[in-house]
Amino acid sequence: MSKRIFKNLSDFIEIHEPTMKELNEFLVDELVDDPIEPSNKTVLTRYSKVKNYIRENYKEISEAELKQLRPPPEIVSAVLNSDAELKQTKKIIKFNQELVDKILSFKNSKNIYEKFIFLQFISGRRISEIKEFDNMIKNFKNNQNEVKMKLNKKKHDNFQIVKIMPNTLEPTEFKKQVKKMRDIVEDIDTEDWTKRMNRFIKKNLGKDYTSHSLRGFYSGVMFNKFNPDNLNINAYLMNILNHDSIESSISYSNYIFEK
């Protein structure tokens, strides 16, 4: 996001010491009524980044006050409606055991892109959750297939249970390898790393795939191979992907694993 916006925000807070109502009005001018006419999704992203900026730089502004900084409701509604339409029209994405075996062969790879793909695939985690140190990992005692992890897109900061794909890595080894990977890519911006990963994936796994696809592949394999209670797909995915609502899990039910 533009440094200009952060500078204007800092100047406004430090000069005017605004109320939350005044700050909200300022944000509409800066983030919504921008001459470049940002898309609705860009506006929501801007609000998220601004709140993080305020959280990091103005400790006197509480979390309760930050919650009052909201984008205009019509923009939120427009994005939600657009997302719902996209979910209904998403095409089926088929993948097979050959692709799965290729990804699993990256287990002992010295190539950082291949190893990162492997770690994402066996855990179903977003690229930022594997890369960033803020997403702390803890091990259970004597547990073969689960770790505790702090995840993104949560309204709370609690640890979540993450299921590691059976017959891949022990949880202690998973934590160790994620830590090693984070050390290697720490100085690369997450957005930049995502672009690099996507280029590598498209070239080496398939032009229709991205880093996000690895979460879908994880979902398909886990549902088909490791679903002892025979849950329906949306209920199962809601559980293993740590979603707060079943609607979020529908986004991944279009990944079909052809055994």
Q: Say yes or no to pLDDT of 209 above 90.
A: yes
Does pLDDT of 90 surpass 70?
Answer: no
Q: Compute φ and ψ for 255, nearest 5 degrees.
A: -90, 115
Task: At 34, list the tokens.
Answer: 């921008």
Each domain of the chain, given as residue ranges in start order, spans: 3-88, 93-258
Share of the chain above pLDDT 90, in %: 58
Q: 222: pLDDT confidence band, cut at 50, 70 and 90?
A: very high
Average pLDDT, the chain: 89
- 1 pLDDT above the threshold of 60: no
pLDDT over threshold 70, residue 43: yes
Predicted confidence (pLDDT) per residue in 154-203, tens digit:
767 789 999 999 999 999 999 999 999 999 999 999 989 999 999 999 99
**Which tokens is 98 given?**
């050959």
Its CATH architecture, for the domain 93-258, is Orthogonal Bundle (1.10)
Least confidently predicted of 98-107, 141-150, 171-180, 181-190: 141-150
Query: Does residue 87 have a pLDDT over 60?
Result: no
- The one-letter amino acid at 118: F
> What does the pLDDT read at residue 9?
92
Distance CA 94, CA 38 (A): 34
Q: For residue 87, which of 219, 251, 248 has the smallest C-alpha distance? A: 251
H or E, element range at 44: helix 40-57
Closest Cα to residue 45, out of 156, 126, 164, 153?
153
Residues 6+ apart with CB under 8 A from 210: 198, 201, 202
Parallel, antiparallel, or unpaired: how do β-strands 255-258 and 93-96 relate? parallel
User: Percent of the chain having pLDDT more than 70?
Assistant: 94
Q: Is 35's pLDDT higher than 80?
A: no
Q: What sign has the CA pseudo-torsion 161, 162, 165, 171?
A: negative
Q: CA 209, 212, 215, 220 torsion: positive or negative? A: negative
Q: Mean of the pLDDT values across residues 89-104? A: 88
pLDDT for position 196: 95
Q: How confident is the model at residue 166, as a pLDDT?
A: 95
Q: How far apart (Å, rounded) are the C-alpha atoms in residues 15 and 8?
A: 10
Residue range 149-158: mean pLDDT, rounded? 82
